[in-house]
Amino acid sequence: MKKKWTGERLETFVYNDTTVEHLHRYGIVMHFIENKTVLDIACGEGYGSKLIAGKASTVYGVDIDPVTIKNAKQKYAAPNLSFLEGSADNIPLKASTVDVVVSFETIEHHDKHEEMMNEIKRVLKPGGILIMSSPEKKSEVSFNEFHVKELSRTEFIKLINQSFRFSKFYSQKIAFGSVIAPIENATGSNFEFEYGGFEHINSYPEIPDHVFNLCIASDEPGISLPISIFDGRDILVENILRPYHNSRLYRSVGFIKKLFHL
């Protein structure tokens, strides 16, 4: 039976811009997790925790939904990967046990933001790192039925800086793939974002009309994320072609390509 996507919790049968955004974020995490103990809070289906487990020494995927955790345990069994039931404001781990906390698209799903930050600080080792993302609040009323309390960039920065001595902030946006780049005032980077057409090209010192805010934060200095692009062409093209894979025309085109070695 074909699965139906709710539009919120990403699963591995989904191929669209949300897939690209999420995979890009997990991709940049890989720079910070080798041989580390990592917490993936609100791990969802578990694919991200599984990706992290390929490099980290120990990974805890925590989610509030017991059915999701049960399924993740069955799908992604690994000796260094544990899935635990718990909430963002009540993390089922001992204090000072985690090197890196990853939290992607979590904080907007509840209103216990300060409690969540307190829990993250509790489970992090001294000098540990938080890598978090959150959608940019466009209005006081969210158009997403699953979101409880969204944050603007200003609110997001304030919340992070209340808990960590050092932090850097970034934006993310789909650009036939996904781009993560610094916020203009948070870095000395010479980043530029251009788009336009034959009539005019616009240039910006940061991603315009960004969709997500990201941060990396710690009580130790010297942290930063790379300017990063995730090429999502294969995923996005697959999403377009998938409905036609079983069509007679699609099979005919494939046969012709093989016949003429195209």
Alpha helices in 32-142 (DSSP H): 47-53, 66-75, 113-123
CB atoms within 10 A of CB 216: 23
User: Binning pLDDT at 50, 70 and 90, where does residue 148 land?
Assistant: confident
**Assigned token pair, 124:** 């992090």
CATH of the domain at 31: 3.40.50.150
46 in a structural domain: yes
Give the mean model confidence (pLDDT) for residues 168-176.
84
CB atoms within 10 A of CB 46: 25
Give the mean model confidence (pLDDT) for residues 153-163.
95
Contacts of 68 (CB under 8 A, 6+ apart): 9, 44, 45, 46
249 in a structural domain: no
In whole angstroms, give the CA distance from residue 118 to residue 88: 10
**Assigned token pair, 44:** 């969802």
Per-residue DSSP letters for 137-185? Answer: P-SSS-S-TT-S--B-HHHHHHHHHTT-SEEEEEEEEESSSEEEEE-GG
Structural domain total, the chain = 1
User: Binning pLDDT at 50, 70 and 90, where does residue 262 land?
Assistant: very low
28 in a structural domain: yes
Higher pLDDT, 151 or 238: 151
Residue 105's φ and ψ, nearest 5 degrees, are 55, 55
Whats the size of the chain, residue-wise? Answer: 262
In whole angstroms, give the CA distance from residue 34 to residue 96: 18
Provide the angle, in degrees to the nearest 10, between the axes of the packed helices 153-161 and 113-123. Answer: 40
User: Could you read off the pLDDT of 49-74 as tens digits, one per residue?
Assistant: 998 999 999 999 999 999 999 999 99
pLDDT at 42: 94
247 in a structural domain: no
User: Binning pLDDT at 50, 70 and 90, where does residue 14 land?
Assistant: low
In whole angstroms, give the CA distance from residue 154 to residue 70: 37
In whole angstroms, give the CA distance from residue 47 to residue 75: 9
257 in a structural domain: no
User: Could you read off the pLDDT of 70-98 as tens digits, one per residue?
Assistant: 999 999 999 999 999 999 999 999 999 99
Average pLDDT along the chain: 83
Domain containing residue 54: 17-231
What phi-psi label fits residue 195: left (phi over 0), alpha (psi between -120 and 50 degrees) or beta?
beta
66 in a structural domain: yes
Reply yes or no on whether the pLDDT at 249 is more than 60: no
241 in a structural domain: no
The number of CA neighbours under 13 Å toward the Cβ of 16 is: 9
